[in-house]
Amino acid sequence: EAQVTQNPRYLITVTGKKLTVTCSQNMNHEYMSWYRQDPGLGLRQIYYSMNVEVTDKGDVPEGYKVSRKEKRNFPLILESPSPNQTSLYFCASSLRAVGYEQYFGPGTRLTVT
């Protein structure tokens, strides 16, 4: 089944404790992206990747890192999480950057205390 998977689905952590949220897609998509969703703000793009080893900042990249060493994986790294990073995170992928539907993962609910 074609899908985008994220792990973990739920995570509660403490301020400053490094964490990684994994994202994997099995559709051979070139483009992958991370979003955060906050009430009243819709989804905002954190980082995106046009292809392997090519990443760029979205609208809200501060406090996040990404890497794209393999085509299928695009992990999101929070080196030192803070409470303002408490949010719902979505990974998405599409065949190319433009003109193609983005497929979304199920989301990761992160709480930073």
The site for another protein (CB under 8 A) is made up of 4, 31, 33, 35, 40-45, 48, 50, 58-59, 90, 92, 97-99, 101-102, 104-107
Which of 93, 88, 89 has its CA nearest to residue 104? Answer: 93
**Closest to another protein by CB, 85 or 108:** 108
- Work out how close the CB of 107 gets to another protein at its nearest, in angstroms, rounded to a whole number: 6
- Work out how close the CB of 43 gets to another protein at its nearest, in angstroms, rounded to a whole number: 4
In sequence order, the 6+-apart residues with CB closer than 8 A to the CB of 85 are: 36, 63, 64, 78, 110, 112
**Closest to another protein by CB, 3 or 84:** 3
